[in-house]
Amino acid sequence: MKPRFLIPLGVFAALVVVLIVGLKDSRTVGVLQSPLVGHRIPDWSLPLLNDPNRSLSAQQLRGQWYVLNFWGTWCYACRAEHPVLLAAQRDARVQIIGVDWKDENSDALSWLAQLGNPYAQVVTDKAGDTAINLGVAAAPESFLVNPEGVIVYKEPGVITAQSWKREFLARLPPQSTVPAAAGSGS
Amino acid sequence: MLPELGHFALVLAMMLAALQGFFGIAGPALGRERWMAATTSAVAGQFVMVATAVGILVYAFVNFDFSVLYVAENSNSALPLMYRIAALWGAHEGSLLLWIFLLAVWTLAVAIVIRRLPEPFAARVLGVLGVLSFGFLLFTLATSDPFKRLIPAAADGRDLNPLLQDPGLAMHPPVLYTGYVGLAVAFAFACAAMLEGRMDPLWARWTRPWTTAAWAFLTCGITLGSWWSYYTLGWGGYWEWDPVENASFMPWLVATALIHSLAVTEKRGLFKSWTLLLAILGFSLSLLGTFLVRSGVLVSVHSFAADPTRGRFILGFLGLVIGGALTLYAWRAPLLKSNAGFDLLSRESFLLFNNILLVVAAATVLGGTLAPLIGDTMGQTSLSVGAPYFRPTFLLAIVPLLLLLSLGIHANWKRGRLEAAAKPLLVTLVVAVVLGAAAVFGFFGGHHALAITGFGIGGWIILSSLVDPIDRARRHISLSRAVLGMTVAHIGLGVAVIALTGVESYTSERDIALAPGGSAEVGGYDFKLLGTRALEGPNYSATQATVVVSREGRVITTLYPQVRDFWVQQQSRKVAGIYNLHGTDLFIALGDDLGAGRWSLRAQIRPLITLLWLGPLFMALGGALALSDRRYRLARADARAPVPGTAHGEAH
């Protein structure tokens, strides 16, 4: 066997290594990563679901870790995601802020009454402006935001028990818990 | 009940494929004649089973069987019949089934034709194809069953991806896949030759028509895809160096190299191990393309749903098949010796340059496509490259190739004397450059040195290709179909080069915002928006604009670009308004509603774009002509009697 005829096999082996590495990292590829990841979250300020006269904003949540979760009662996949969020709330590692997107307040309130409320706060985005600013394409979508207000991770679809652990909890500081008075509205 | 039968048919097909692989490879190795004979029966049986499965899935689509998950996910009660059938390849599972079906069709065709070849060789070819088919069937059954039930059945389906609801795209995947899968035949021939441990000019003659056929389909498939993205995606682009486009382009480049190196192997018995390597490479790249598209490793507009499980499976399969073939190559290729020599300026040399440059071009495309992955491996984050990388690197390999083409077709085999051809070459070069310059200065305007170069090269390829046929016609010497095919294909390439030059140098493009009654000027043409109105299709509602195009006050045409909003998938798709004026496209796509009756529009004037579709069509036509050459039919008749290896070393 002459060595030069082994060259193609060697090149191919190197290629396979590259592909294996690529495949390992491919769990989040195939869906577009938000260009906002690693940048400060665009300023938002939205009315609270249970008290539309008051509002909650990105400014008020500065200094805290939080997950911004876009959902709607019209969204089937959100129903599938709901139990995962409830379990996450019981763990109390990070507060989840729900954004009820393009929805009726009464529908949203009865949904939460019926299925349980995993959210520290729920705000409403009827016109969908905030969703546009954040590049939300379809509910559910969730953003993990750090105390500096920087988006650390974006989940472009349904959060599963697995992805909650792997993508959200893994990015939190080890001892983080939900703050006692979670970002009270003004 | 029927879908379960379809699933069962696939299981049977897989078993038959396993038998085909086993008998085909073990039979000749152990000298069992009955085993070899059984291979053909397995091929026929497998074809029937796969065809049954395809038929059942089509039946489920046509009859709205939404209890089948794949049907429910990819069609809808309002979807027209044509797209219900095309929906078969609308997503991962079905397109994989299409791939398997086409492989079964190719294998059946090979089995019919190859009966006239020596039996051990024929059995080995079919055996290798059986192994490939087994892998794909196992992949389908294990990870991507198209017959999976949806219980309870959906009341209605989620509809076909709107982008696929278009005649151009309905045709594009089957044609492209036929080309992709066809390269498996050349691969199987190469593996069979390596298993036998010998390879001769006759082998090249058997392999050539299959390679040419696959190449012609690949050419058509890529062109159809390019044409579709041009008129339907709404940006008016025809090539974006997207990973999936590259995935189809790399096998094409290597297949083009293979066609040329096969010519040398057939005529002169040279480049043997190189030809084998190209045959392996061509199909490997088409497998790699499948992996890239279906595993979610790369981000692309065409990607199927990302699924690492599928990715792992294909990667494993890829490793076995390609790794196995390359190991076989490392073991057997050193046995293949050729002792003929050739001069520097002989045709062999030029074809060698052709091969090197094509492979370099394919390698640069591969490098760019895999750059994000290579970046990951090295610990860099998302290193992604686009047109600014691909264009210059690709041109660096392709421009010398185009320049050498005219010299190559006039060079003699073996002897390096170009003197006899010097005069016609020089004359055609001067004429081409003068014509190119005349087109630039007299017609298009502007002073692009690059445009003159492009037109000149394209013109030179066309003119110099015509020298020999015209000469023969004058002397009443007949032209073989093979030479005619080569000439037509090379002319097609020249036409494509001219078209690309024109389109790239002289496209005018503008994004405009117009209110009804408003107009804007683009590239010397006036686009006037008369108004918009709502329309309703079978499964979508659309907004259609009426745009009058005129030049110097004279109305040329009225265009009706649309934006179609599909009800079920909540997605919109653009249908551009295009008018072709002597090969120049006047293109208008409707954008967004800007409020208050104003709309954004994209207008383009693309000169010579018609030639961009015609050029590749000519290339494919050339392939078809070469296929019909008399000697391939004779070759099969020849082969019956003697054993291969006693080469009929005649030169054609």
The amino acid at B67:
S
Q: What is the pLDDT of residues B280-307, one digit of tens each?
A: 999 999 998 878 777 666 655 455 555 6
Query: Taking CB atoms and an 8 Å limit, are B334 and A27 in contact across chains?
Result: no
Which residues are B261's β-sheet partners? none
pLDDT, position B50: 98
Query: Taking CB atoms and an 8 Å limit, are B329 and A9 in contact across chains?
Result: yes
Side-chain half-sphere exposure of B252, counting CA atoms within 13 A? 22
pLDDT, position B447: 63
Rounded CA-CA distance B336/B328 in Å is: 13
> Which chain A residue has the Cα nearest residue B312?
A23
Q: What is the DSSP letter of A36?
A: T
Residue A90 contacts B, CB cutoff 8 Å: no
Q: Beta A95-101 vs A66-71: how paired, if at all? A: parallel
pLDDT, position B645: 39
**How many CB atoms neighbour CB B108 within 10 A?**
20
Q: Position of tokens 């000019």?
A: B201
Please report the number of interchain residue pairs, chain A to chain B, with beta-carbon separation below 8 angstroms. Answer: 78
Q: Which segment of B180-189, B372-381, B435-444, B508-517 scores lowest on mean pLDDT?
A: B372-381
Residue B108 has pLDDT above 50, yes or no: yes
Q: What is the pLDDT of residues B188-246, one digit of tens each?
A: 999 999 999 888 888 999 999 999 999 999 999 999 989 888 877 666 688 888 888 89
pLDDT, position A128: 80
Residue A92 contacts B, CB cutoff 8 Å: no
Q: What is the pLDDT of residues B118-138, one digit of tens each?
A: 999 999 999 999 999 999 999
Query: Taking CB atoms and an 8 Å limit, are A18 and B373 in contact across chains?
Result: yes
**Percent share of chain B, pLDDT over 70:** 92
Rounded CA-CA distance A150/A169 in Å is: 16
Query: B528: alpha, beta or left, given left = phi > 0 and alpha = psi -120 to 50?
Result: beta
pLDDT, position B351: 93
Question: Which residue among A6, A9, A19 sits closest to B373, beta carbon to beta carbon?
Answer: A19
Q: Which segment of B11-25, B157-171, B263-277 scores lowest on mean pLDDT?
A: B157-171
Residue A1 has pLDDT above 80, yes or no: no
DSSP string, B148-205: -B-SSPPSS-----GGG-SHHHHHHHHHHHHHHHHHHHHHHHHHHHHHHT---HHHHH
Residue A183 has pLDDT above 50, yes or no: no
Q: In chain A, how many domains are there? A: 1
Which residues are B550's β-sheet partners? B526, B555
First to last CA, chain A: 79
pTM of the model: 0.80
Query: Taking CB atoms and an 8 Å limit, are A26 and B306 in contact across chains?
Result: yes
> To the nearest whole number, what is the mean pLDDT of chain A?
83
Q: Alpha carbon A176 to chain centroid distance?
A: 17
Residue A132 lies in a domain: yes
Residue B158: which pLDDT band, with cuts at 50, 70 and 90? confident
Query: Which residues of chain A are within 8 Å of residue B331 when distances are taken between CB atoms?
Result: 1
> Which chain A residue has the Cα nearest residue B294?
A30
Residue A156 lies in a domain: yes
Q: What is the pLDDT of residues B406-423, one digit of tens each?
A: 999 888 888 877 777 888
Query: Which residues of chain B are within 8 Å of residue A30 when distances are taken between CB atoms?
Result: 296-297, 299, 303, 305-306
Residue B634: which pLDDT band, with cuts at 50, 70 and 90? low
> To the nearest whole number, what is the mean pLDDT of chain B?
88
Query: Taking CB atoms and an 8 Å limit, are A18 and B305 in contact across chains?
Result: no
Query: Taking CB atoms and an 8 Å limit, are B327 and A23 in contact across chains?
Result: no
Query: Taking CB atoms and an 8 Å limit, are B296 and A20 in contact across chains?
Result: no
Q: What is the ipTM of this complex?
A: 0.82
Whole domain around residue A137: which residue ranges? 33-171
Residue B382 has pLDDT above 70, yes or no: no
Question: Which residue among B311, B322, B370 sits closest to A12, beta carbon to beta carbon?
Answer: B322
Write out the residues of chain B at the interface with chain A, using a CB-CB cutoff of 8 A: 273, 277, 280-281, 284, 291, 295-299, 303, 305-306, 308, 311-312, 315, 318-319, 322-323, 326-327, 329-331, 333-334, 370, 372-374, 376-377
pLDDT, position B275: 94
Residue A9 lies in a domain: no
CATH number reported for the structural domain that contains residue A159 in this entry: 3.40.30.10
Rounded CA-CA distance B27/B97 in Å is: 29
Q: Which of A101, A104, A71, A75 is nearest to A86 (CA)?
A: A71
Give phi and psi for B399, each to the nearest 5: -60, -45
Residue A23 lies in a domain: no
Residue B636 has pLDDT above 60, yes or no: no
Residue A20 contacts B, CB cutoff 8 Å: yes
Residue B10: which pLDDT band, with cuts at 50, 70 and 90? very high
Side-chain half-sphere exposure of B268, counting CA atoms within 13 A? 22
pLDDT, position A186: 40
Residue A18 contacts B, CB cutoff 8 Å: yes
Average pLDDT, stretch B11-26? 97
pLDDT, position A30: 41
> Which chain B residue has the Cα nearest residue A8?
B326
Residue B641 has pLDDT above 70, yes or no: no
> Which chain B residue has the Cα nearest residue A14?
B374
Cα Rg, chain B, nearest whole Å = 26
Query: Which residues of chain B are within 8 Å of residue A19 when distances are taken between CB atoms?
Result: 291, 297, 315, 318, 373
Residue B376: which pLDDT band, with cuts at 50, 70 and 90? low
Residue A118 lies in a domain: yes
Q: What is the pLDDT of residues B523-538, one digit of tens each?
A: 889 999 999 999 998 8
Query: B584: alpha, beta or left, given left = phi > 0 and alpha = psi -120 to 50?
Result: beta
Residue B375 has pLDDT above 90, yes or no: no
**Percent share of chain B, pLDDT over 90:** 56
Residue B651: which pLDDT band, with cuts at 50, 70 and 90? very low
Residue A21 contacts B, CB cutoff 8 Å: yes
Computed from CA positions of residues B569, B572, B578, B583, in that sequence, does the dihedral angle turn out positive or negative? negative
Rounded CA-CA distance B299/A22 in Å is: 12
Residue A76 contacts B, CB cutoff 8 Å: no
Residue A137 lies in a domain: yes
Residue A109 lies in a domain: yes
Residue A181 lies in a domain: no
